[in-house]
Structure 1
Amino acid sequence: MISLDNFYALIIGISNYQLIPKLPLTVCRDAQDIYNLLINPLACGYSTDNVQFLLNEQATLSAFSQSLLDLAQRTTKNSTLLIYFSGYGVQLNKGSSNLNYLLPVDVELTSETTLVQTAISTHQFTEALQKISASKTVIIFDCYHSQDIKSDDLTFKMGLSEQYYNQLKQKQGRVIITSARRNEQSQILPDNSNSLFVKHLLNGLQGEAIATGGIIRILDLFNYVQSKVIGDNEKQRPIIKVEIEENFPLAKSPQKQESKPLSLELPMDEFRYDVFISYRHQLPDKTWVRKTLLPWLEERGFRVCIDYKDFRLGQHLIKEMERAVEQSRYTLSILSPAYLESNFTDLENVLAEHLGLETSQRRLLAIIRTECTPRLGMRSRLMLDMTDDDDFEMNMERLAYELQQPASN
């Protein structure tokens, strides 16, 4: 089991603003519940000493700034850091400029001068983050709780700008998550004690998200949360911005999912196959696909399309490739140097990519079986690294989870 001694968190929740309109009490309940779960030794397993918690009156400009400074002093290059902010995050349009701010509990909006003096600009926030050594950082912005706000001659748009999110993620090892898109609100469904986003975030951290080896990894957690939020309310879509080379651990899972048998819950759609395997027909790729990958998938109930069993005799090969791609929810490319040299395998994944663009769906998944450098269109995707056989079961659980998701972006 991984040690979480070098994992840190800063959790901020503000609903009871002193000088501007208050936000729903759910905002603070969300932050409180995230904090409680993080420090629970039977759940996420963070050390209490490593988690800072600022709630309502505690979340002043001074305390917010000091917490960021403390993280800069305590973290190291090997640290993992989670920052969760729930409160007002706003944009102020000034001429051609678009200024972004995080608002502490004691912010004043009587003028642009008081705003600058009492809020944390995203420039200041970015500078503070640059002083933090942690090589893996997750920042969750839950800033979509109300409509735009006005104060005297100033009008603020709710949420931070897309441009800022893109700028903020421009550092290796950084993940930016927002609870909703710019034009959406963070929903609170009837009879729910938490917002929709945090409800599923908490469920994911409590073991509902895939957790191979007893560890919850950041991309697995986000995939779970996003699919559940959209499934409950199509008017809210969480967004992720990443600059990472690995799906790194974020927390312990309270469940030992490695001993839990896989239970298939496949989408109800029109696809004949769950996955079409695209691979190079030469050793060692051929042997690994047919003797290892295929049996594992079929034993667990997946409907797999593979050439030597499902391509019809006497048909044109390219037409059979097209049929396999169209009738499969996903095309799974098994990448290796030999795969990249083949025009036929390249055609298969190009067909899947093009079909995905036409239908606005995610139709192509990729495994790196042997170290190689795919073309740019493939490198832009998150791929599953299966070069190490010691991680086979863990990686196959991740693959199985993805194959059960609807073919949507």
Structure 2
Amino acid sequence: MSVDSSDSITRILGLRVRSWRIALGYSQEKLAERAGLHRTYIGTVERGEQNITVANAEKIANALHITLADIPGTQQLKEFYELFPGSFSIMNTAGKVIAWNPFMRDVIAALPEEEMYGIDGMETVHPDDRAFVMEQFSAILSSGNEITGEARVLLNGGPEYVWRSISGRRIEVDGEACVLALGIDITEHKRLDSVRKYTDQLFSMDESVSVNELLQDALNAAEEITESSTGFCHFIDNESIEDQPVQIWSSNAANMLQHSGIVSSRHIHLNSPDVWMDIIETKRAVIHNDSAAIRKSRGIPHEAPSHISRELIIPLKKSGQVAAIFGVANKPFNYTDDDMAIVTRIASLMWNVVSRRIAEESVRQIKSSESWEESRGHS
């Protein structure tokens, strides 16, 4: 919809608020007081200079003793929600969708217009969050309070999803209690918050924490944030650090190996430069979202079993050369550039700490050697 159309709706909203206010004999100050808003806000709304939020529109409607739909009129209300930069839906007490905007239809449900009416709104929520959302839904209907919460919402019917902040309010449609729900994407915020927590944890670790633990914590964080099921770090050839293992797995991957009865096995081929030649030559991170590409890149014979469906690989470099491969694998849906940015950030933070620790240990060894040589010279 054009900007002119949006401005027109804003002006219509303002004129209707003003006409209802005057009809009741309210001043702007009295309306603002009853709605719990500032007088200047009411003024900008009435002049068509303010994009009114749904929450504030309901406050104004309640203060004017009218319903939300009475402010703009039915057609303007529909157009208002079509402009909303997120998901909008109205569900009846059974959770069936009776109204929606294009975002809800095209991005979340991925259904044609004629199939939208009556779909189960709860089916658009991630299965792990469904019970929580249903509980909040019931609370809104019973209490009448506006409730805001966070949940994972499926895209195109799943399995891909995004985190959304969802606000719900009880409204009446044709005399029936319903829930109006608005959702905003907060996935990026959630991810950045997880990286911040990992960063705080990393820099609060005691010096006694081993390199192995540092690597595994980083793998665990990268695995969790990207919704992967496996995390791994393989040192190339003899590039192991101090007395650390040449192969390190995330806690989840280590548990899976243990349950498979191969916890003590070393996958020697995973430390071979030939397996990771594409990474070693380009020194760049890579994403493979299909098993055929992984087989080709890793030289896995077609008839051999492969347990990797998707992978995201980050090279860890020492003196300009690839010393280790840091990766996550088997996300239920495709890895993205955002995933790569997150994993690169985590791997870089961890590798900087590990590299500093290696440098400090080298200095200590040199000083110890010099002291020993000096003591021999005086004996």
Q: Same fold (TM over 0.5)?
A: no
Higher relative contact order (CA 8 A, sep 6+): 1
Bigger-Rg structure (1/2): 2
Q: What TM-score results when the alignment is normalised by the length of structure 1?
A: 0.28
